Amino acid sequence: MRLFGIETEYGITREDQEVVDPVVESMELVRAHLTDAFEKTWDYSGEDPHEDARGFRVSGLQQDKEEDEFVKLDGHRPFSFHEMKSDLVLPNGARFYNDHTHPEYSTPECRTLRDLIAHDRAGERILQRAATRRNRALRGPHVQLYKNNTDFHGHSYGCHDNYLLPRSIAFSSLTAGLLPFLVSRQLIAGAGKVGVEAQETGFRPGLFQLSQRADFMETELSVDTMHNRPILNTRDEPHADHTKYRRLHLIIGDANMCEYATALKVGTTRVVLELIARGAVPTLELDNPVTAVKEIARDPDLKAVVRRKAGGVLSGLDIQEAYWRAAQKTLSGQDEETDWILREWADTLRLLTGDRSRLVGRLDWVTKLWLLETFVREERLSWDDPWLASLDLEYHNIDPTRGLFLGLETEGKTTRITNEAEIEAAISAGPSDTRGGIRGLCIRRFPDQVKSIQWERVQFTGWLSPKVLDMNDLFDPDAVKALAQVLEAAASPADALKAWSQRKEQWQ
Amino acid sequence: MSEITTLERRERPFDPMPKPTSPSEEGGGPRRPETGSPDKDNLLKRMRKVDPKQAERYRQRTGE
């Protein structure tokens, strides 16, 4: 069972205003996507971030107090909660909305890395098109969007990678198997950052780090996501049949611009999860994972070592190589995608110890460092020059006429996983083999009859009693394709649900 | 409701990753670009246009 997705909170600013209102700007950006009036359809009843995978429910999150303060602060505004969130489900099955004052794009669920990368890139294009429309209304290129994770003043926002897992895998196995891997994953998936900061406190320039998020990791395990951020988030919100599934919700990751880095980030994590499921993960318990994340992040020479609980030390590369060896031994030859991951993972680790310049355009931190080193040399700057943080920010600008990464991509200096046709296709429709594709199909086929929608279900209007398409256990790709055929052929949601019910009875 | 048209995504044969157009030094993997140095006429020009104070002004609320 393979299913994953990425949620990305984008940074947003208005360059024509001294003080920017992120609530209004995020809301207006999402609304700029629409041609018609906003209609409330997202169903929040499936969301409960207070359930903890360790087997208990927390009464409150650390961020609840801040959220309450924001509600008070934003309470005077002339719009409702739903209007402020402006939650949209797009024809490709993605979710696009204003989350915590950041425009957020959640890809539809994907089964393959190639689909996932196409949908992650589709998100960039959809947001940039919305910004273009918004800027047309503002009569200038004032709104700018950043696919990054920090404002360089101690405010971080996330890029979360999610994986569907069988509930039979104990959460304690995930903790033991994942922590060392996640501590060191930044070697291949870090987006790079100029300077050092901490939660809502100042910024110190001068140092280049592998990761944008490392500074904000404060504990090993926690259900919180905005404060006291954990290396491994324990939120138990599967968005699927609770008795059968877990959703691993990782918040430690950076938002990647490099397609290759996104593919390795999710691909290697998926591989490690399979090792955990098979009991084949290396035993590498670290003495202090939170300190280790920061120590590894702050050493772009990759020489930093971290302590093992059993004694001795390991570098980030040592940890990654141990995981790769276990994966190569256990999973090699399993399928084409796994072999691609294993091959590219090994190649990347080898190049990190050798000719790192060959990872430019593949790994974000290497690419960003290479750009900055070139600029420092050309302009004769010192590493604590504030210009470098601005260049760091602009690396992540998703406006193709401004963004530094996108400029590099235009020059053909990045490694592509997708092509333009695949990205355009991902803007229009979801994967053909996941419920994300079904969600999008419902929106396209019956746009006026969707009463409410969320990850697990679609509720249609038009009857005295509402009719629901339940997708909380719809993960078999053949079943997904059969349902898609039913939806395509049906004249109405009622016909589709009836035909689908009959089809399922035949199978039983 | 949205501006996006209702084009269907075509199914394609399973192909996890693009094959290299020519053999790389490592014998496989995606196409690797030439990255000897940045294009100084274009990319450095773009970098010089960035306002040195941009990050100083950039403020966000804490997200997830």
CB < 8 Å to A426, chain B? 9
- Written as one string, the DSSP assignment of A301-334 is TS--EEEBTTSSEEEHHHHHHHHHHHHHHHHTTS
Q: In whole angstroms, what is the distance from residue A324 CA to residue A281 CA?
A: 10
Bigger pLDDT: B4 vs A165 = A165
Average pLDDT score over residue span A235-264: 98
List C-alpha distances in Å: A124 to A98, A253, A357, B48.
Answer: 15, 17, 26, 24
pLDDT exceeds 70 at position B7 = no
pLDDT in tens, A352-382: 999 999 999 999 999 999 999 999 999 999 9
Place of tokens 């990319």: B43
Is A260 inside any structural domain? yes
- The answer to whether A33 contacts B7, with C-beta atoms less than 8 Å apart, is no
Say how many CB pairs under 8 Å bridge A and B: 204
pLDDT value for A74: 76
Which one is predicted more confidently, A25 or A75? A25
The conformation of residue A47, written as its DSSP 8-state character, comes to -
Q: How confident is the model at residue A78 (pLDDT cuts 50, 70, 90)?
A: confident
Q: Find the residue in B nearest to A344 (Cα).
A: B29
Reported as a pLDDT band with limits 50, 70 and 90, residue B37 is low
Is residue A358 domain-shared with residue A466, that is, in the same domain? no
User: Is there a domain that residue A428 lies in?
Assistant: no
Closest CA to A445 of A499, A479, A494: A494
pLDDT digits (tens, 9 = 90+) for A164-179: 999 999 999 999 999 9
- CB A295, CB A306: distance < 8 Å: yes
Shared-domain flag, residues A302 and A445: no
Residues B7, A96: Cα–Cα separation, whole Å:
19
Contact criterion met (CB < 8 Å) for A101 and B63: yes
Residue A455 located in a structural domain: yes
How crowded is residue A330: how many other Cβ atoms within 10 Å of its Cβ?
15
Q: What mean pLDDT do residues A472-500 have? A: 97
- Interchain CB distance below 8 Å, A340 and B17: yes
SS (H, E, C) A346-377: HHHHHHHCCCHHHHCCCCHHHHHHHHHHHHHH
CB A359 within 8 A of CB A352: yes
The residue with tokens 């996104």 is A262
Residue A370 belongs to some domain of the structure:
yes
Residue where one domain finishes, among candidates A396, A421, A446: A421
Q: Which residue of B has its CA nearest to A9?
A: B63
The answer to whether residues A449 and A338 belong to one domain is no
State the nearest Cα–Cα gap between B5 and chain A, in angstroms. Answer: 7
Handedness of CA A461, A466, A469, A471 (dihedral sign): positive
Residue A122 and residue A45 share a domain: yes
The last residue of one of the domains, among A361, A388, A421, is: A421
pLDDT, tens only, A378-435? 999 999 999 999 999 999 999 999 999 999 999 999 999 999 999 999 999 999 999 9
Average pLDDT across chain A, whole number? 95
**Three-state secondary-structure class, residue A203:** strand
Shared domain check, A381 and A350: yes
Q: Rounded to whole angstroms, what are the CA distances from A380 to A68, A317, A392, A394?
A: 47, 32, 17, 20
Gyration radius of chain B over CA positions = 21
State yes or no: is A99 an active-site residue: yes
Question: Residue A152: is its pLDDT beyond 90?
Answer: yes
Q: Which residue in A has a C-alpha nearest to residue B7's C-alpha?
A: A428
Give dist(CA A410, CA A456) in Å, integer: 38
In CATH, what number is assigned to the domain containing residue A260? 3.30.590
Residue entry with tokens 């190049």: A351
What's the confidence (pLDDT) of residue A177? 98
Task: Residue A121: count other Cβ atoms within 10 Å of its Cβ.
Answer: 24
Place of tokens 């930044």: A186
Q: State the total domains in chain A.
A: 2
Question: Of the given ranges (A196-205, A255-264, A345-354), which has the lowest mean pLDDT?
Answer: A196-205
| Contacting residues for A141 by C-beta, under 8 A, at least 6 apart | A15, A135, A399
Quote the percentage of chain A above a pLDDT of 70: 99
Orientation of helix A336-352 relative to helix A316-331, angle to 10°: 150
Residues of chain B with Cβ-Cβ distance to A430 below 8 Å are 9
Rounded to the nearest angstrom, the minimum Cα separation between B19 and chain A is 10
Burial class from Cβ neighbours inside 10 Å (0-12, 13-18, 19+) for residue A218 reads: middle
Residue A414 φ/ψ region, left for φ over 0, alpha for ψ in the -120 to 50 degree band, beta for the rest? beta
Chain A: closest CA distance from residue B18 (Å): 7
Long-range contacts of A335-342 (CB under 8 A, 24+ apart): A335/B16, A336/B14, A336/B15, A336/B16, A336/B17, A337/A112, A337/A113, A337/A267, A337/B16, A337/B17, A338/A271, A340/A113, A340/A267, A340/B16, A340/B17, A340/B29, A341/A113, A341/A263, A341/A264, A341/A267, A341/A268, A341/A270, A341/A271, A342/A271
| A180, A251, A300 from A287: Cα distances, Å | 10, 21, 22
Lowest mean pLDDT among A18-27, A158-167, B29-38: B29-38
Nearest C-alpha in A relative to B10: A425
A102 and A214 fall within a common domain:
yes
* pLDDT above 80 (res A259): yes
Whole-number Cα distances in Å, B22 to A103, A263, B4, B33? 40, 21, 37, 12
B41 contact residues in A (CB cutoff 8 A): none
Q: How confident is the model at residue A63 (pLDDT cuts 50, 70, 90)?
A: confident
Instruction: Give, for A438, the enclosing helix (H) or strand (E).
Output: helix A435-445
Mean pLDDT computed over A451-476: 91
Confidence check: pLDDT of B6 > 60: no
The two tokens of residue A222 are 């926690």
Per the listing, tokens 């968005």 go with A239
Q: Within 13 A of A18's CA, how many CA atoms are on the CB side?
A: 0
Percentage of residues in chain A having pLDDT higher than 90? 91
Residue A453, class by beta-carbon neighbours within 10 Å (0-12 exposed, 13-18 middle, 19+ buried)?
A: buried
Which residues does chain B have within 8 Å of residue A337's beta carbon, measured at their own beta carbons?
Answer: 16-17
A485 found inside a domain: yes
What is the extent of the structural domain holding A462? 434-507
Both A164 and A76 in one domain: the answer is: yes
Pick the catalytic residue: A43, A87, A99, A254?
A99
Return residues 20-49 of B near A (CB < 8 Å): 26, 28-40, 42-44, 46-48
Average pLDDT over residues A336-352: 98
Would you mind telling me the total number of residues written for chain A in this entry?
508
d(CA A494, CA A413): 51
**Do the Cβ atoms of B62 and A156 come within 8 Å?**
yes
Residue A165 placed within a domain: yes
Task: Report pLDDT for A308.
Answer: 98
Query: Are residues A210 and A367 in contact, defined by beta-carbon separation less than 8 angstroms?
Result: no
Answer whether residue A103 is part of any domain.
yes
A260 and A158 in a single domain? The answer is: yes
CA–CA separation, A431 vs A115, rounded Å?
7
Which of A365, A388, A421 is the last residue in one of the domains? A421
Pairing of strands A245-250, A159-166: antiparallel
Say if pTM beats, i.e. exceeds, 0.90: yes
* Nearest Cβ partner for B63 among A9, A343, A370: A9
Residues A125, A229, single domain; the answer is: yes
Is A408 inside any structural domain? yes
The verdict on A252 and A284 lying in the same domain is yes
| DSSP reduced 3-state for A144 | strand
Give how far A481 is from chain B: nearest CA, Å.
Answer: 11
Q: Same domain for A462 and A413?
A: no
- Backbone φ and ψ for A62, nearest 5 degrees, come out as -60, -30
Q: Are residues A446 and A331 in the same domain?
A: no
